[in-house]
Structure 1
């Protein structure tokens, strides 16, 4: 589960963000060569701001888990390789055996995503989710040290994954013929999630888009054929994306009107991606438009790189901060190549307090020339707040000039050498 502090508005009607949610039971498979359709990279009219990616049944053998502890798992590396050139940065990662949750955000949004917290709730063997765990999981999702600890008090919950709901009563032949003729409405009434929502008031608070795509389970691997094994499992919509908006307190007509809710969520698309065949499940994605009035209108830290950066000179970093910024002795400033994959992808860093210099009332930090990389390219600076557990300021990109030497040629003239 993720909780992200929203941001303070820059204008009365708020800011709109596009969020793309992915759920896929990958059945221990490695990433395919092309995930452009899954990530909507081939949709040039879609300008996404945040990716939330959940995978189930990742390879969780002992050797795989040991390898993933020392290195990035193949799926995380794949998503970072694809998304970092598009200015997306991995801001959160949670791995629980075969489950993986990844959150990516556009680099420009990093200073406004604060106090990231994670909490995992095991639910038995391999963490498989069942309906009887639903209320218990929500009860256990408490975030320590936050003003709103329980997840049910949060403004938005997105619940997605392989929920294992099946289609009741109908036989295999009827279900397959209904799917073949795209008569999905005949199956909706017998969908176990739809049935459960009629009985569980809390589950009923979660919304879902219409199931206008074929059931996403169970397929023969490397094909688009539903299960032809001896078990011949019925097709079912096991892979789902649900969301819940916090209910507004009820007030009578005589009471003062409450301020408008600070955000709204609308579903743009809810689809499956049938072209992927590496698993017995098809992935499902939901694309949302989130309009919100942020809690922070400008970055808490404004970073400026002073002068020309070279590979041989010590440099000064100047920054300004807002009056309410909660500074910490453990704050640091990182130097990154443009196209960073995640917050720990820095080339080098300095502790703010240890390297701070006071000069004419400015906040300045000393950056040793020995910490400046001997590689050319575009770089940027990020200020990381330990108190807020997030990046709170990003500089504009700048270039680091190569080291220049002076050499004398045989004619006695001095020539620069790079």
Structure 2
């Protein structure tokens, strides 16, 4: 939303006064000739100032008006000399401006979140050399390449030549995680092994790259390098480490991790070393759960798996090949029969049983086991300790539902690196990152409400052997200022919260909201029962959109959340009332459950009575509904507004099954079907088979989903046109 030069506010305006605020928004105009946009701000927590954005001159002016209307304490800033612009995570009205040449940053506070977003978008408009649009346009995307690799270095220095493993000057970002990295520094300028290793990588990649961040835990290290041209787009950098070794406190095992945001898309990279030895499967699974449980990055109220758009988890996970003698494994390797070995891979089997890496994907393994190698001999497995060759070193990925899917270009091992008893494993990935939305005139802004109907959960965890008293919390975000909670349900693992009061976002534009997720947690008192993320893109349909999403706790499934979402603009004629009235009242939310009743949004009933609400007539089901929803109802990014039959219920697909590694029928040459709808993620709306949509009788192995509940006809999913369109747009404009 933009404001023209006319219509200034007096210094005595009151942001809490609704009439003042209403008049303020009415005064917002665009000066077509000068492109001057005015904001009322506080600079570095001082008294009110006026911030003027002059797009033609590409400058910012900050001043205070005297009683006579004269400018006082005038400051001028060149937009081209601003190095970074960061929206505060602690206060969603604040923005931090970083200037070049090490000058002191500016902290600016706006009257609300929407004004901050407007200023943010205006500066990006200037940086990207775009013109102010006359209509609301979809958020632009940019495709970036990532080189991600893991290597157990075996406490030996790396070889002097890394070219066969790490290509130079080829990718946008390089992320490398290593384990057992402990050796004497080879150069005098380095006092510690960490400095030597990070310095070696920096020298290898060259002057076109800079170190974003790096961290270590005993012998585990992770580091991120990026092209220098991306310096101004990478923000919110965090790092942490989690020990899971002896006594759960020693750092010989555990994880190092780094998170950051590129433009508007968030990433988390984790490098781990799990418990060793063939029989320690449960210990390895426990390492995974403990890391997810303890790690705190980004939003500290959410776990690390349900808040970042993309999570990459790499490491020496130490999962082995089971039920085969060492000699059998060596014979299979000699015959290049990898599929025989993958059937017995511990990680694939544990993942299929949903005991580890729930919701993660791994690309097809086409390389030989990476452990245990004879040092300095290519392709030779050592006879020391008679270890069974195994794929200990792996890379897995996870994306939030309705994020663009991660495209894996390569997943290989670097067999020419011979200094360790492990072979490095690397993957090359492509991800779409969202650029800031472009500002639009106030006349195009329409207020909206986010509506949730028939919210309920199933199969929540017990608390000390007793049924919990669960309640649902929507966490604050860039478009929600305060925490929103449902009432408590009483002693029930399958609570029904029913319809909740409308949520009024602070930012109303569809092009922004359709890229966002609502992050939520289910609690019993202060104890977490699970987390989930619901994409707002589902809500832009003509009717309430039914969904089902898996609730996770410590990285494993902890229940299922059902509901329907609808985003309604207030100047339209919604098919659903904004607020419902209760069919009956009660001082507390009563726990209900009845069998064989599918989820069906009740769009013609009543109103909630805050703050204590009751359930509606919708009842829960003892098992997930099986009626498939038409696949056309799931909008790609950005969503397409197609009607959703309100009486259809979502059918839950297994979002943990890896389409590449079916342990019961592995085909090493199997290729990934078109997966642009991200079916393997948490939100699901259709599908009726247990094979994740794969037709075992179809040689093409295309992804099929039922599209007609009457004749059960099927269709093959094609990439949504948006992704193709985005690529062409980027070629023209970026």
- Give the distance between the partners of 2:414 and 2:193, measured in 1 at CA: 29
Matched, 1:283 2:424: yes
Offset at 1:84?
2.9
Task: Tell me the secondary structure at the aligned position of residue 215 of structure 1.
Answer: coil
Shift of 1:147: 7.6
Post-superposition Cα deviations, 1:270-301, rounded to whole Å, max 9, x if no partner, equal: 00011111000100100000112134889xxx
CA change 1:18–1:229 in 2 (3 A) is: same
Query: Does residue 48 of structure 1 match 2:174?
Result: no
The reply on whether 1:90 has 2:211 as its aligned counterpart is yes
The whole-number CA distance in structure 2 between the counterparts of 1:72 and 1:135 is 27
CA distance in 2, matches of 1:69, 1:294: 41
- 1:111 matched to 2:229? The reply is no
Shift of 1:26: 0.7
Sort the Cα spacing of 1:71 and 1:194 in 2 relative to 1 into closer, same or farther, 3 A.
closer
2:203 matched residue in structure 1: 81
Q: Which moved more, 1:184-193 or 1:124-133?
A: 124-133
- 1:279-324: CA deviations, max 9, x gaps? 00100100000112134889xxxxxxxxxxxxxxxxxxxxxxxxxx
Which residues of structure 1 form unaligned runs of 5+?
Answer: 249-260, 299-418
- 1:138-153 equivalence runs, <5 A: 138-143=292-297, 146=299, 149-153=302-306
User: Does the 8 Å CA contact 1:14/1:292 hold for their aligned counterparts?
Assistant: yes
In the alignment, the residues of structure 2 paired with residue 29 and residue 193 of structure 1 have an alpha-carbon distance, to the nearest angstrom, of 27
- Conserved? CA contact 1:262–1:292, under 8 Å: no
Q: Is the CA contact (8 Å cut-off) linking 2:410 and 2:429 kept in structure 1?
A: yes
Which segment is superposed worse, 110-119 or 11-20? Answer: 11-20
Taking a change above 3 Å as real, the CA distance of residues 71 and 217 of structure 1, as seen in their structure-2 partners, is closer
Partner residue, 1:57: 180
SS in 2 for 1:264: coil
Q: Does 1:25 align with 2:152?
A: yes
Matched, 1:208 2:362: yes
1:225 CA drift (Å): 4.7
Which residue is 2:330 aligned to? 176
* Distance in 2, Cα, partners of 1:297 & 1:282: 46
In the superposition, relative to structure 1, how do residues 149 and 183 fare at CA in structure 2: closer, same or farther (>3 Å)? same
CA separation in 2, counterparts of 1:289 and 1:143?
23
Aligned to 2:214, what secondary structure does the other structure show? strand
Q: Does 1:15 align with 2:137?
A: no
Distance in 1 of aligned mates of 2:170 and 2:385: 43
Distance 1:158 1:71, change over 3 A: closer
1:67-97: CA deviation from partner (whole Å, max 9, x where unpaired): 9666852211110111133x11001101111
Name the CA shift for 1:60/1:123 in 2 (closer, same or farther; >3 Å).
farther
In the alignment, the residues of structure 1 paired with residue 438 and residue 147 of structure 2 have an alpha-carbon distance, to the nearest angstrom, of 24
- Find the counterpart in structure 1 of residue 415 from structure 2: 274
* Distance in 2 of aligned mates of 1:232 and 1:71: 30
Q: What is the rounded CA distance, in whole Å, between the counterparts of 2:384 and 2:312 in structure 1?
A: 36
Q: Is the Cα contact below 8 Å between 1:60 and 1:98 reproduced in 2?
A: no
TM-score by length of 1: 0.60
Does residue 162 of the first structure (1) align with residue 299 of the second (2)? no
Q: Which has the higher contact order (CA 8 A, sep 6+)?
A: 1
Counterparts of 1:60 and 1:71, CA distance in 2: 6
What RMSD over aligned residues (CA atoms) do the two structures have, in Å?
Answer: 3.0
How far the C-alpha of 1:196 sits from its partner, in A, is 0.4
Residues 295 and 303 in structure 2, CA contact (< 8 A), matched pair in contact too:
yes
Distance in 2, matches of 1:117 and 1:230, equals 40
Question: Which structure is larger by alpha-carbon Rg, 1 or 2?
Answer: 2
The structure-2 alpha-carbon separation of the partners of 1:60 and 1:133, relative to structure 1 and needing over 3 Å to count, comes to: farther
Give SS of 1:119's match: strand
Q: After superposition, what is the alpha-carbon deviation per residue over 1:342-369, rounded to whole angstroms, capped at 9, x for unaligned? A: xxxxxxxxxxxxxxxxxxxxxxxxxxxx
Question: Residues 194 and 160 (structure 1 numbering): CA distance in 2 closer, same or farther, change over 3 Å?
Answer: same
Query: Which runs of 5 or more structure 2 residues have no equivalent in the other structure?
Result: 1-85, 88-119, 129-137, 247-251, 254-272, 275-283, 440-734
CA distance in 2, matches of 1:90, 1:133: 29
User: 1:224 Cα deviation (Å)?
Assistant: 2.2
Taking the aligned partners of 2:166 and 2:183, their CA distance within structure 1 comes to 24
Q: Is 1:17–1:291's contact at 8 Å kept on the other side of the alignment? A: yes
C-alpha distance in 2 between matches for 1:149 and 1:116: 17
SS in 1 for 2:205: helix
